[in-house]
């Protein structure tokens, strides 16, 4: 069972998240940081003919990363609506673009779920062609 925590004595959330969630469940699923790689192990959102890999399509990368999270959850018997924490790590060079694209794609792929979490802007990620990495925790009964 999940209950959104919406205190009336603080400002409402400014994005696609909730302030908190109370959870009673039988199982937790922890999803490792996912990056924008397709099932064939290829980065999405980049032009392979460009040795510098520029420009990178952030929207395509966010969507693929969330779909990878979804695939892990489904393997464990969960859905996107079962997410109780979602953390996004975004390369600083994509910060302004992410503020609009990230919210829109998250709303679409999360199917209306607004789990608590954080968006952290970082200098870089382990995989240099990735502008985003997303980890999640889901709870199922």
Q: List pLDDT tens digits, range 55-110.
A: 789 999 999 999 999 999 999 999 999 999 999 999 999 999 999 999 899 999 99
pTM: 0.88
Predicted local distance difference test score (pLDDT) of residue 110: 92
Whether 120 shows a pLDDT value over 90: the answer reads yes
Domain count, the chain: 1
Query: What radius of gyration do the chain's Cα atoms show?
Result: 16
Please name every residue paired with 137 in a beta bridge, in sequence order, or none if there are none: 30, 85
Predicted local distance difference test score (pLDDT) of residue 21: 86
Q: Write out the H or E segment, with its range, that includes residue 90.
A: strand 83-91
DSSP character string of 8-52: TTSPPPSSS--SEEEE--SEEEEEEEE-SB-TTSPBSSS-TT-TT
Domain that residue 115 falls in = 2-140
Return the CATH number at 20.
3.30.1330.40
């Amino acid at each position: 069972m999940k209950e959104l925590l919406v205190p009336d004595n603080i400002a409402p959330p400014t994005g696609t998240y909730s302030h908190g969630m109370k959870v009673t469940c039988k199982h937790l699923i922890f999803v490792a940081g996912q990056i924008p790689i397709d099932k064939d192990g290829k980065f999405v959102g980049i032009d392979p003919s460009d040795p510098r890999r520029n420009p990178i399509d952030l929207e395509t990368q966010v969507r693929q990363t969330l779909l990878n999270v979804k695939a892990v959850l489904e393997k464990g018997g969960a859905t996107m609506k079962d997410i109780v924490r979602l953390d996004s790590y975004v390369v600083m060079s994509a910060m302004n673009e992410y503020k609009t694209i990230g919210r829109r794609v998250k709303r679409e792929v999360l199917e209306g779920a607004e789990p608590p979490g954080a968006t952290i802007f970082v200098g870089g990620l382990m995989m240099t062609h990735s502008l985003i990495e997303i980890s999640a925790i889901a709870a199922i009964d």
